[in-house]
Amino acid sequence: MVAGLLHLLEQGAQVVVATHSPLVAALPGARILEVGPWGLRPAAWDELELTANWRQFLDRPEGYLRHLR
């Protein structure tokens, strides 16, 4: 999917994507709008809750996986 989006962007296309993926949100030139209890606001990739959550998971997956048992 990311490769396809990159190809579209290289062709000058504009796309709107709703995602929970930090990979998709990291596309070069992306204008990121974060939705939450505050409504809709512009955000930087490294400030997103989804980025922080993935970092925490990758640092300590057992902390998340223990809830699945």
Which CA distances in Å does 64 have to 46, 57, 58? 21, 7, 10
2: in domain: no
CA-to-CA distance for 43 and 24, rounded, in angstroms? 14
25: in domain: yes
6: in domain: no
pLDDT for the residue numbered 25 = 92
| Count of domains forming the chain | 1
Confidence of residue 66 (pLDDT cuts 50, 70, 90): confident
**Span 8-40, pLDDT tens digits:** 999 999 999 998 899 999 998 899 999 889 999
